[in-house]
Amino acid sequence: MKSVKGYIERKTMLYKTGVEYGDYTMNHVLGCAHGCKYPCYAFLMARRFGKVASYEAWLEPYLVSNTLEILDKEISRLNRKSSRFNYASRPTRLCTNMTK
């Protein structure tokens, strides 16, 4: 597995989502090291909103260094809501038939 390119900091970790299977989401990684043949939705959205310049840059992931500190503050506000973690980078996802 590739190592991370570096670390970034975020102001929040929990994001409200409109999907039916969770109220909040969290992505503690910016980018993805899978190198799938076709760019995924997460990359396209990151590029659209100026978080990443190119697919090559997306393939060099950054970890969020202050994840635990932020979650200590934010989790207490959830009131037992349902959360899903790491929609975008899914480190355990298998990309069979899609890799280079």
Write the DSSP assignment of 36-90 as a string of letters. BSS--HHHHHHHHTTS-S-HHHHTS-EEETTHHHHHHHHGGGSTT--EEE-TTT-
Query: Pairing between strand 6-8 and 62-64?
Result: parallel
> What are the φ and ψ backbone dihedral angles of 25, each rounded to 5 degrees?
-130, 160
Per-residue confidence of the chain (100 residues) as pLDDT tens digits?
Answer: 567 889 999 999 988 888 887 788 888 899 988 888 888 888 999 999 999 999 999 999 999 999 999 999 998 877 665 555 555 554 444 333 333 3
pTM: 0.69
Would you give the end-to-end CA distance of the chain in angstroms? 15
- At 94 the pLDDT is 36
Q: Tell me the domain boundaries of the chain.
A: 6-85
